[in-house]
Amino acid sequence: MHEDNDHRVDGNAAAGILREVFASDVTTARVVCGHCTAGTSVAETKTYLAGPGSILRCPGCDAILARITKIRDTVWLDLSGSASWQIHTG
C-alpha cells in the first residue's frame, strides 16, 4: 500500500484494479500456480505495481501468476501463469 510503487508489496495492493474487472473482491480467492502447483490467496502473492501494470508472482516459486495492465478504458488481463482461480461469490 502507500507509496514506493516500484517496490514489492502484496496482492492486497491490487484489490482496486482487480475490483474493476471482477464482480467481487478476489484478494481472498485462491490461485494455483501453473508452474509449481502451490496454492495461495491472491492477497499473499508477491505484487509489483509499476506504471500502468501490476504483476502478481507466486510466493513459492516466483513464477508470474497474473499480469494486469490498464490503458485508458481497457484492462488487459493475462492469467496464463496460473492453473486456476477459486473465487468465493457468497
Partner 1 sequence: MSATERAEGAAKTESSGPASRRGPIRWLPARLRAARMETRLARTLVLDVPGWSGHAPGQHVDVRLTAEDGYTAQRSYSVASPSAQDQVELTVQRVQGGEVSTYLTEIMLPGDQLEIRGPLGGWFQWTARIRGPVLLVGGGSGVVPLMAMLRERVRSDSSSPFRLIYSARTPDHIIYTSELHQMGQTHPDIQISRLYTRSGLPDDTREPGRLRIEDLPPPGNEITEGPSRVYVCGPTGFVEHAARLLVDRGYRSSDIRTERFGS
Residue ranges binding partner 1 (CB under 8 A): 1-13, 15-16, 19-20, 23-25, 27-30, 32-33, 37-44, 58-61, 83-84, 86, 88, 90
> What's the closest the beta carbon of residue 69 comes to partner 1, in angstroms?
15
> What's the closest the beta carbon of residue 36 comes to partner 1, in angstroms?
8
Residue 45 CA: distances (Å) to CA of 71, 72, 84, 90: 23, 26, 14, 23
> What's the closest the beta carbon of residue 24 comes to partner 1, in angstroms?
5
Q: How far apart are the first and last CA of the chain?
A: 26
Q: Are 65 and 10 in contact (CB under 8 A)?
A: no
Distance CA 44, CA 84 (A): 16
